[in-house]
Amino acid sequence: MISNTELLKRLQKTKALILDMDGVLVDTEPLHMEAFARFLDALKLPYDNDFLYGFIGFSVPDNIRKIYNERLHITDETVIQQGIKQRDAIYLKLLESTPLHPLPGIEGLVDYCQKKQFKLGVASSSDREQIEVIFKNLKETTQGRFDPQNIFSVTLSGEDVKNRKPDPEIYRKACQLLQEQSENCLTIEDSPAGVSSALAAGLTCIALKSHFVPPEKLTHAHALIEKIDQATEWLRQAQSQ
């Protein structure tokens, strides 16, 4: 982490906001954990919360591969791909049956950035189909008040890059599509892998504390917050200087 003075200097340059989706834009992490739990139950594999929380910030294919490789000692890619499809089907059903809301503070942050005419994007490790279901859900739940399809000019999924987080590829690509230098882009992340991805791409990264990740695993971010509103206030301060 860096000092407040250094952080405000970085935020003065901000011209674009690129948000992570799961756990930042919308609180889907509990649904992800529930989907993994049901998948592990189906395989009759024991697990604890620490094992589940270790999945956060990594792609579903990587996590399913980890389960098969480390817990079942299976490396057959056909079997692994079937497992990925099974887990995704569980998750999609949960998404479709659960009303979703923007994380508290997100609407205020987005509104401020729109007024400042910042470019807006989403960089998520989730698959495109999941992103589209979540975006539709958010629009319906907010009765059209918060419509991600109209808000974000660039939306990248894990399928849009060769290497997913913690690799920096997705953030580099988002900056390119937004036509902004990485040093002028701010992101908010809630996972160690996401923070590492953003930092390696050269963005300013603020980490959001969550119930699923110990805060000490997020201290490589430029700053650590408990609420999105804190990031909005820092931006206001920096942009008014």
Domain final residue, candidates 97, 120, 140: 97
Confidence of residue 237 (pLDDT cuts 50, 70, 90): very high
Domain final residue, candidates 54, 74, 97: 97
Write out pLDDT tens, residues 175-204: 999 999 999 999 999 999 999 999 999 999
Name the domain count of the chain: 2
Can you give the pLDDT at residue 29? 83
Q: Give bridge partners of residue 189 from the DSSP assignment.
A: 207
Looking at the structure, tell me whether residues 144 and 213 fall in a common domain.
yes
Looking at the structure, tell me whether residues 127 and 203 fall in a common domain.
yes
- Which among 145, 147, 126, 128 is positioned nearest to 136, based on CA atoms? 147
Would you say 155 and 125 are in contact if contact means Cβ atoms under 8 Å apart?
no
Can you give the pLDDT at residue 85? 96
What are the DSSP E strand ranges found in the chain?
16-19, 119-123, 154-156, 185-189, 204-208, 223-225
Can you give the pLDDT at residue 213? 85
Which residue's entry shows tokens 């490589």? 220
Say yes or no to pLDDT of 138 above 80.
Answer: yes
Range of the domain at 46: 30-97
Looking at the structure, tell me whether residues 123 and 210 fall in a common domain.
yes
Write out pLDDT tens, residues 155-164: 999 999 999 9
Looking at the structure, tell me whether residues 172 and 232 fall in a common domain.
yes
Task: Give the phi and the psi of residue 45 in degrees, each rounded to 5.
Answer: -105, 130
Chain Cα centroid distance, residue 223: 16
Chain Cα centroid distance, residue 107: 16
Write out pLDDT tens, residues 31-89: 989 999 999 999 999 999 889 888 876 778 889 999 999 999 999 999 999 999 999 99
Calpha distance 227→208 (Å, rounded):
7
Can you give the pLDDT at residue 39? 97
Domain final residue, candidates 97, 113, 142: 97
Looking at the structure, tell me whether residues 139 and 168 fall in a common domain.
yes
Q: Give bridge partners of residue 22 from the DSSP assignment.
A: 26
One-letter amino acid identity for 86? Answer: Q
Looking at the structure, tell me whether residues 91 and 196 fall in a common domain.
no
Can you give the pLDDT at residue 35? 96
Three-state SS at 23? coil
Looking at the structure, tell me whether residues 138 and 180 fall in a common domain.
yes
Q: How many CA atoms lie within 13 A of 231 on its CB side?
A: 33
Looking at the structure, tell me whether residues 114 and 89 fall in a common domain.
no
* Residue range 101-122: mean pLDDT, rounded: 98
Calpha distance 183→9 (Å, rounded):
11
- Measure Cα distances from 120 to 24, 94, 177 in Å: 14, 27, 11
The pTM score is 0.88
Can you give the pLDDT at residue 34? 95
Assign residue 195 the CATH number of its domain. 3.40.50.1000
- Number of neighbouring beta carbons within 10 Å of residue 239: 15
